[in-house]
């Protein structure tokens, strides 16, 4: 990906003006070195969204990687090329970054596995920053065994026996947010869990209410940010507002000087987001950080040591290529209702493909508390074949 330093190559950040104004890297990112030393072969860098500031994967300068599951749909971003390379069976796995969505969403749209680790557990040295308190190095694979192996290398984990989950939490309001029927997502997971572990492990909640009741500082943003707007889950929409404000503020700290000096040629949508970030002030930043701390504590209490939260990875089908900006903006708002949960809490999240519905890829995500990456990786490996069996039964 154009965001990882590789010795001797310019790290282009998805934009030709960035590449033109920066020198070649003099070292290789430790995350890249880790997988190379473990036996991987680097076959190339992949296209990404400009400055990692988009979730669709359309790049006006370098082209849009073709979604192997749905060629008329976006591949997802910002780690678009990395996801497409795996989905098209060009490589066994690839690296990407995930600050707001950039591994989870492309994985969902390209019908593959995508893992966003707990924040600050995989080195981001030698990776161009977007917003450091959110940035993670994630990875894609088609095979859960490979996903697990790559994770153990990047996370420096020893081999360990799989651990049974204590509970699988199904937030009914989150699945209602998705346009994909829950029979194709949540119910497949529930049936698989019941077969493997028993029905007593499944618990249903209304996550929006839980967040509203247990993250008191969020009230400030529910009053100010959401007034007069329609959201299916107001508390999660407020979380999204908090996450995006913090990310804009950190992006400004990282890149305002370059953006204002160079005035780069940026694609539609991205340009507006970049300049909005440059104009961001410190107002409400302290309250945002309080929300983040409260959310992590609340979700940690909800899940416990070996609990799993299941949500839709995306709120619906991948948007069509060159969809009008207004439609994309509405989709983006709904998507961040879901994506901000792991983003703001720093929890680990994996997107798991669940086949095709109406000829478009479907997925579900599992989240575990911060630092539970090994547990979550092993759960994916344990569940995967049973999930595939449930999907196959739907076709019969």
C-alpha dihedral over 178, 240, 214, 175, to 10 degrees?
A: 0
- Do 176 and 232 meet the contact criterion of CB atoms below 8 Å apart? yes
Q: What is the pLDDT of residue 149?
A: 97
Contact 31, 123 (CB under 8 A): yes
Contact 98, 122 (CB under 8 A): no
Alpha-carbon distance of 174 to 335, in angstroms, equals 11
Cis peptide preceding 92, ω within 30 of 0: no
How many whole angstroms from its chain centre is CA 143? 18
Fold for domain 16-394? Amidase signature (AS) enzymes (3.90.1300)
Distance CA 64, CA 59 (A): 5
CB neighbours of residue 328 within 10 Å? 21
Residuewise pLDDT in 10s, the chain (396 residues):
799 999 999 999 999 999 999 999 999 999 999 999 999 999 999 999 999 999 999 999 999 999 999 999 999 999 999 999 999 999 999 999 999 999 999 999 999 999 999 999 999 999 999 999 999 999 999 999 999 999 999 999 988 778 899 999 999 999 999 999 999 999 999 999 999 999 899 999 999 999 999 999 999 998 654 544 555 799 999 999 999 999 999 999 999 999 999 999 999 899 999 999 999 999 999 999 999 999 999 999 999 999 999 999 999 999 999 999 889 988 999 999 999 999 999 999 999 999 999 999 999 999 999 999 999 999 999 999 999 999 999 875
Cα separation, 256 vs 271, in Å, equals: 13
Give the count of alpha carbons within 13 A of 181, CB side only. Answer: 6
Closest CA to 107 of 63, 153, 47, 57: 57
Find out whether 379 and 162 touch, Cβ atoms under 8 Å: yes
Instruction: Kindly list the distances between the CA atom of residue 168 and the CA atoms of 222, 297, 303, 379, in Å, as whole numbers in the listed order.
Output: 28, 18, 9, 11
Report the pLDDT value the prediction gives residue 229, as an integer from 0 to 100: 54
pLDDT score recorded for residue 394? 84
341: tokens are 């949960």
The residues spanned by each domain of the chain are: 16-394
Residues 6+ apart with CB under 8 A from 135: 97, 99, 119, 124, 127, 129
Compute, in degrees rounded to 10, the torsion defined by CA atoms 336, 341, 346, 348: -100
pTM of the model as a whole: 0.97
- Are 291 and 242 a contacting pair, CB within 8 Å? yes
**Confidence at residue 231, expressed as pLDDT on a 0 to 100 scale:** 55
Give the ranges where the chain is alpha helix by DSSP (H).
Answer: 16-20, 30-37, 80-87, 104-110, 144-154, 172-177, 186-196, 207-214, 219-224, 234-262, 270-278, 285-303, 325-345, 373-395
């Amino acid at each position: 990906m154009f965001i990882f330093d590789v010795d001797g190559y310019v790290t282009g950040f998805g934009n030709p003006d960035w590449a033109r104004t920066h020198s070649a890297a003099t070292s290789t990112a430790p995350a890249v070195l880790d997988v190379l030393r473990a036996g991987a072969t680097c076959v190339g860098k992949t296209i990404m969204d400009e400055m990692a500031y988009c979730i669709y994967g359309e790049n006006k300068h370098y082209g849009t990687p073709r979604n192997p599951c749905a060629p008329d749909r976006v591949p997802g971003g910002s780690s678009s090329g990395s996801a497409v390379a795996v989905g098209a069976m060009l490589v066994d796995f690839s690296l990407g970054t995930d600050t707001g969505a950039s591994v989870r969403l492309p994985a969902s749209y390209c019908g593959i596995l995508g893992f966003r680790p707990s924040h600050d557990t995989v080195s981001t040295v030698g990776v161009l920053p977007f917003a450091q308190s959110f940035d993670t190095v994630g990875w894609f694979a088609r095979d859960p065994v490979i996903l697990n192996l790559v994770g153990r290398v990047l996370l420096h984990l020893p081999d360990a026996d799989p651990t049974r989950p204590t509970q699988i939490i199904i937030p009914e309001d989150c699945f209602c947010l998705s346009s994909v029927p829950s029979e194709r997502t949540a119910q497949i997971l529930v049936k698989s869990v019941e077969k493997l572990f028993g029905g007593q492990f499944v618990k249903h909640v209304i996550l929006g209410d839980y967040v509203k009741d247990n993250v008191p500082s969020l009230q400030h943003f529910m009053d100010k940010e959401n007034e007069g707007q329609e959201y299916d889950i107001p508390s999660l929409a407020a979380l999204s507002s908090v996450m995006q404000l913090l990310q804009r503020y950190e992006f400004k700290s990282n890149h305002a000087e370059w953006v204002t000096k160079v005035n780069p040629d940026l694609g539609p949508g991205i340009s507006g987001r970049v300049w909005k970030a440059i104009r961001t002030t410190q107002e409400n930043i302290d309250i945002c950080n309080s929300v983040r701390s409260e959310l992590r504590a609340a979700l940690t209490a909800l899940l416990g040591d070996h609990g799993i939260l299941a949500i839709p990875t995306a709120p619906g089908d991948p948007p069509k290529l060159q969809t009008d900006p207004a439609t994309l903006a509405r989709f983006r708002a709904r998507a961040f209702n879901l994506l901000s949960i792991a983003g703001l809490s720093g929890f680990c999240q994996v997107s798991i493909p669940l086949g095709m519905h109406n000829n478009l890829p479907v997925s579900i995500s599992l989240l575990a508390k911060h630092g539970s990456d090994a547990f979550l990786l092993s759960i994916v490996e344990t569940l995967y074949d049973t999930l595939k069996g449930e999907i196959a039964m739907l076709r019969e």
